[in-house]
């Protein structure tokens, strides 16, 4: 993708009258890529209930094209030439049912238009297409979330033409692209007097309403008031002049129909909620409203304005850490770049918005941004502001915050590892299912857990498992259930990694109940301690026998009092890697350090009492193997030798039956 293209939206531009001249000798017909065909099919069948968004998308992309030119002209002023009044223009023909959206922006060359309009080079395309349900209403929302910019033209048009000339090239270097939105498109050389691009829509018979002045005017005011570039339309009362033959003809005069002032530069009290929402859709290419936003102007040592948004839905490329991300950067109202990732840490990559600074050089590049101390200061302030936004949302509207958490919670969990200075702020935003959750969907903040801690409880107890079901049914919870101690149940793929960087919260240390020997501190009864010492001595011979059977399959065997119902369980040594981290490392192709579990036995269970009395060594070996296999399965693990385990189970069953 070229730099000025926000996939899969198109940067569109200007066409003045019949400026292009076809050159059929180099006309080329190409087929759309499979993904583009599928999306076009959906568009043509009008999945959107709100069809007027096609104009919003095309105006938004035209605005981007003008912004790109303004930025390029900082280092190459000749690109502007005499045409310095940057604008977007809308012409229409009510009789012939056509609309032309044009701008005098950056434009495209032939290769760029092929890349931008014949393909959809966006991460997550396949996942998006797989997510389509066949339900028009649901699929409409999915398409909006994916963002399909230019292709929305086919909601109302049965034919679209794009005439474009890249800034800095000659009129004869222009390109004309045509398509009816089916399986292919044509592309040919053309001549265009002015730089930029023009998109001409030949409306469907049923969509003629959009070629009316009042309709177009109202849509522009609704969706484009926030754009800093004027959107021009022909005046309703046209001036008249006489031609050389004395005949009266109409003279076209244009006027701006939008406010044409950067929304973030206006006072907050003058901006409506609807304007904030529409501006979000402009900067994010999202079709849904944001959950929350924060508009702030900073004056003093540093001067900048920021407008940050929390989206309502995660994009399909959220987990592609290499995907474009970041805020739109402006310097003194001049657009510099999309996706300026230097202003927010990676774990906040879902945030959208704008930052406009007076303290950064206009001739800035990504490399210069990385070395600018002003950028570091702005980044620190914006990170805290973003986290404060989330904290306020959590306190103000728990339901809305739960929507955010469902979409972006796992991304936020990356925070403690990536930004130690904001560790505590991020920790306050985390939510988890616990043993007190009434349903799988009910999650609690760490503050809520701490407020419910039992008297004398010194640690925050948690368990990491392969799934929530495995966590709920883990034998490791038995003593905690008996003593009514709440345990956090972690099951996201990132949780073990998170807890490696989150050592404490509100002065309380975290304790993985699957690691090391169980220590309940002040919650432990004195009698429990005496009984444990007695059991360890009594079962010392049994522990020795089990060690001999299991050999190098375990790190150790020991008596435990964390179990009340199960005969045995597996624990992890304090500094060993857990199953989640092992899987993450394995998936990334990294070498996995060898670790072995600790096999713990419950001296109060009848099976262990029977096992302790078993004199037949072969049967003893079979029973130990079965107990060890059961413990592995209970924690969601896999058996080293399923065949052996099954054979010994069958042998035991036969003994019972006979």
Q: Give the pLDDT score at 223.
A: 80
Q: Give the pLDDT score at 9.
A: 37
What average pLDDT does range 236-245 have in this prediction? Answer: 55
* Annotated domain spans of the chain: 24-234, 263-404, 430-523, 528-573+586-657
Between 370 and 107, whose confidence is greater? 107
Is residue 143 scored above 80 in pLDDT?
no
What average pLDDT does range 103-124 have in this prediction? Answer: 75
Residue 371 in tokens = 């070395």
Residue pair 101/94 in contact (Cβ under 8 Å)? The answer is no
Lowest mean pLDDT among 270-274, 453-457, 516-520, 646-650: 516-520
Name which CATH class applies to 430-523.
Answer: alpha beta
Residue 38 in tokens = 């599928």
Is residue 530 scored above 80 in pLDDT?
no
Q: Give the pLDDT score at 3.
A: 34
Lowest mean pLDDT among 17-26, 142-151, 436-445, 609-618: 17-26
- The reply to whether domains 430-523 and 528-573+586-657 share a CATH topology is no
SS3 of 107, please? Answer: coil
Q: Quick one: which of 90, 82, 73 has its CA closest to 12? A: 90
Q: Quick one: which of 326, 372, 335 has its CA closest to 353? A: 326
Q: Say how many C-beta atoms besides its own lie within 10 A of residue 33's C-beta.
A: 14
Residue pair 215/209 in contact (Cβ under 8 Å)? The answer is yes
CA dist list (Å): 376 to 302, 327, 342: 11, 14, 8
Domain 263-404 architecture: 2-Layer Sandwich (3.30)
CA 429 to chain CA centroid, Å, is 17
| DSSP per-residue codes, 521-536 | GGGS-HHHHHHHHHHH
Torsion-angle region of 86 (φ positive above 0: left; ψ -120 to 50: alpha; else: beta): beta
Is residue 20 scored above 50 in pLDDT?
no
Give me the numbers of helices (H) and strands (E) for the chain, helices first please: 22, 25
Which band of pLDDT confidence, cut at 50, 70 and 90, is reported for residue 658? low
CATH, range 24-234: 3.30.565.10
Is residue 399 scored above 50 in pLDDT?
yes
Lowest mean pLDDT among 246-250, 424-428, 580-584: 246-250
Lowest mean pLDDT among 11-20, 60-69, 181-190, 406-415: 11-20
Bridge partners (DSSP) of residue 532 are: none
Q: Quick one: which of 455, 452, 475, 454 has its CA closest to 463? A: 475
> Does this model's pTM top 0.85?
no
- Half-sphere exposure of 16 toward its Cβ, with a 13 Å CA cutoff? 12
389, 395, 397, 399 alpha-carbon torsion, rounded to 10° = 110
Q: Which residue has the tokens 């080079």?
A: 121
Rounded to whole angstroms, how far apart are CA atoms 35 and 7?
13
Percent of the chain with pLDDT over 70: 83
Rounded to whole angstroms, how far apart are CA atoms 544 and 557?
8
Bridge partners (DSSP) of residue 92 are: 99
Domain 528-573+586-657 architecture: Up-down Bundle (1.20)
- Half-sphere exposure of 230 toward its Cβ, with a 13 Å CA cutoff? 11
Q: Say how many C-beta atoms besides its own lie within 10 A of residue 140's C-beta.
A: 17
């Amino acid at each position: 993708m070229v730099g000025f293209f926000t996939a899969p939206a198109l940067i569109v531009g200007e066409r003045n009258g019949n400026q292009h001249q076809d050159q059929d000798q180099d006309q080329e017909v190409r087929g759309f890529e499979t993904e583009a065909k599928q999306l076009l099919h959906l568009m043509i069948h009008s999945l959107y209930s709100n069809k007027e968004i096609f104009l919003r998308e095309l105006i938004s992309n035209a605005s981007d094209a003008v912004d790109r030119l303004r930025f390029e002209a900082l280092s190459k002023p000749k690109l502007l030439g005499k045409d310095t009044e940057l604008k977007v223009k809308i012409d229409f023909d009510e009789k012939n049912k056509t609309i032309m959206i044009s701008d005098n922006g950056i434009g495209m060359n032939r290769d760029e238009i092929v890349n931008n309009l014949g393909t959809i080079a966006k991460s997550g395309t396949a996942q998006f297409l797989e997510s389509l349900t066949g339900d028009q209403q649901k699929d409409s929302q999915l398409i909006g979330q994916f963002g399909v910019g230019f292709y929305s033209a086919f909601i109302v048009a049965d034919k679209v033409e794009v005439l474009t000339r890249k800034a800095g090239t000659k009129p004869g270097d222009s390109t004309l692209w045509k398509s009816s939105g089916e399986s292919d498109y044509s592309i040919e050389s053309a001549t265009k007097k002015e730089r930029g691009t023009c998109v001409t829509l030949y409306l469907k018979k049923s969509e003629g309403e959009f070629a009316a002045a009042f309709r177009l005017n109202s849509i522009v005011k609704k969706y484009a008031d926030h754009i800093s570039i004027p959107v021009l339309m022909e005046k309703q009362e046209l001036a008249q002049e006489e031609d050389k033959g004395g005949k009266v003809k109409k003279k076209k005069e244009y006027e701006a129909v939008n406010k044409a002032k950067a929304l973030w530069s206006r006072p907050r009290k003058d901006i409506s909620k609807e304007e904030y929402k529409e501006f979000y859709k402009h900067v994010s290419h999202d079709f849904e409203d944001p959950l929350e936003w924060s508009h702030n102007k900073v004056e003093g040592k540093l001067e900048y304005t920021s407008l940050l948004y929390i989206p309502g839905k995660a994009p399909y490329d959220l987990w592609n850490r290499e995907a474009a991300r970041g805020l739109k950067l402006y310097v003194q109202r001049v657009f510099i770049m999309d996706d300026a990732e230097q202003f927010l840490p990676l774990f906040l990559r879902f945030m959208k918005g704008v930052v406009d600074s007076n303290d950064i050089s206009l001739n800035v590049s990504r490399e210069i941004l990385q070395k600018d101390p002003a950028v570091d200061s702005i980044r620190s302030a914006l990170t805290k502001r973003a986290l404060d936004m989330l904290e306020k949302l959590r306190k103000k509207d728990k339901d809305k915050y739960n929507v955010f958490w469902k979409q972006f919670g796992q991304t936020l969990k990356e925070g403690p590892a990536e930004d130690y200075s904001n560790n505590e702020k991020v920790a306050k935003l985390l939510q988890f299912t616990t043993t007190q959750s009434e349903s799988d969907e009910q999650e609690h903040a760490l503050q809520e857990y701490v407020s419910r801690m039992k008297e004398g409880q010194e640690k925050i107890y948690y368990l990491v498992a392969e799934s929530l079901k495995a966590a709920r049914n883990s034998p490791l919870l038995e003593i905690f259930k008996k003593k009514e101690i709440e345990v956090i149940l972690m099951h996201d793929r990132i949780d073990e990694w998170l807890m490696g960087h989150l050592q404490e919260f509100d002065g309380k240390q975290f304790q993985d109940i699957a690691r090391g020997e169980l220590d309940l501190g002040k919650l432990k009864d004195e009698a429990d301690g005496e009984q444990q010492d007695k059991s360890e001595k009594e079962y010392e011979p049994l522990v020795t026998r089990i060690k001999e059977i299991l050999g190098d399959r375990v790190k150790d065997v020991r008596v435990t009092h964390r179990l009340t119902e199960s005969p045995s369980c597996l624990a992890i040594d304090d500094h060993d890697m857990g199953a989640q981290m092992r899987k993450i490392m394995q998936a990334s192709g990294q070498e996995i350090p060898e670790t072995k579990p600790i096999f713990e036995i419950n001296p109060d269970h009848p099976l262990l009492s029977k096992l302790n009395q078993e004199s037949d060594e072969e049967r003893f070996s079979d029973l130990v193997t079965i107990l060890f296999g059961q413990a592995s399965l209970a924690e969601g693990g896999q058996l080293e030798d399923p065949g052996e385990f099954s054979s010994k189970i069958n042998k035991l069953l036969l003994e019972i039956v006979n």
